[in-house]
Structure 1
């Protein structure tokens, strides 16, 4: 496969809490994605991105260095998988902060979700994130990977118990994400997404 045909997938670990499960889940998914011949994978851990949590109300204000450092990684992505827990029936504040720091980096790109939680599997957080990503002009895919009572689902080796079931779910999600990533990359190449926005304001 030609190098320019490969997709760049960015997996974002949304929680920054100590002892979080997110890195385990993200690394497992990354290991599945790296088996694909058409995908290059980056994992971004918001706990080490050090994005500030105070923003300026002035849209022309210079962005902090940490925000500028992460921007090229997001801009280069063809697709995202957001790894999120569910805290108090919602997603982490650190994840909303990260989404809000950026704009064009999300535009016309597909987003999938790996969620984890108790009985709800983190799907309440996913439902809310779909609304948030719609506002930054991203497209969310229907297929998800979700772990209910996640502490019972993974062994000490960092792999799911009954892994075949979860591998099937991951493959289905990555297949759909890949379809959208290629379709939207082609669309952006044919007509830049920002061009549509400028016409809408005229």
Structure 2
């Protein structure tokens, strides 16, 4: 089987965001795996409107060219790692809007998450998993939670600005578990999608 194409999605678009730091860290970790070819996906690179289509692309094609460009990008991947900021116990509005701009493009794919904040974005990641169920996605059991002292060690708020390598003793095992599970589920889903496509082609 060819390498799994995994998109690492930065969920915050704020000018002062921290998300690209853990995103680049998990991108490197993912690309160390022989089964994975990971790529960074930055929501800043897509000028998505607030969802304004007549319906989800589950029911009809989207009209906005930027939404279509986003859907085509998501379709390239076998799975995803969401780098999650927590805003008021949920995922960011930017990420929710981006998720809502597509539907069929997410279906039957796997995802994991890396969360950061005082509680490691635990509630936001649970929010994301609930959304994933509706998108017909499968979530890894394990996630990476950069929380508490670890969070303040690497985030500018803590005024220490340590590199991510300084907290790998705390979060490294979670990252390995998440990536192991992501590979398993993404390979299983990819094989099932390919089999489904063969069956559909044979029936035509």
Whether the 8 Å contact between 1:110 and 1:139 is mirrored in structure 2 is yes
Q: Give the distance between the partners of 1:176 and 1:58, measured in 2 at CA.
A: 33
Q: Give the distance between the partners of 2:114 and 2:40, measured in 1 at CA.
A: 13
* TM-score using structure 2 length: 0.85
Q: Give the distance between the partners of 1:160 and 1:55, measured in 2 at CA.
A: 42
The aligned counterpart of 2:8 is 11
Whether the 8 Å contact between 2:50 and 2:97 is mirrored in structure 1 is yes
The aligned counterpart of 1:169 is 174
Whether the 8 Å contact between 1:28 and 1:158 is mirrored in structure 2 is no
The aligned counterpart of 2:65 is 65
Q: Structure 2 regions of 5+ residues with no counterpart?
A: none
The aligned counterpart of 1:124 is 123
The aligned counterpart of 1:21 is 18
Whether the 8 Å contact between 1:147 and 1:153 is mirrored in structure 2 is no
C-alpha offsets along residues 29-55 of structure 1, whole Å, 9 cap, x if unaligned?
Answer: 001111122211111111222211141
The aligned counterpart of 1:46 is 43
Which shows bigger deviation, 47-56 or 124-133? 47-56
Counterparts of residues 172-183 of structure 1 (less than 5 Å): 172-183=177-188
Q: Give the distance between the partners of 1:121 and 1:28, measured in 2 at CA.
A: 16
Whether the 8 Å contact between 2:19 and 2:84 is mirrored in structure 1 is yes
Counterparts of residues 153-164 of structure 1 (less than 5 Å): 153=154, 156=161, 158-164=163-169
C-alpha offsets along residues 163-186 of structure 1, whole Å, 9 cap, x if unaligned?
Answer: 233222211110110000111111
The aligned counterpart of 2:87 is 87
Alpha-carbon RMSD across the aligned residues, in angstroms, is: 1.9
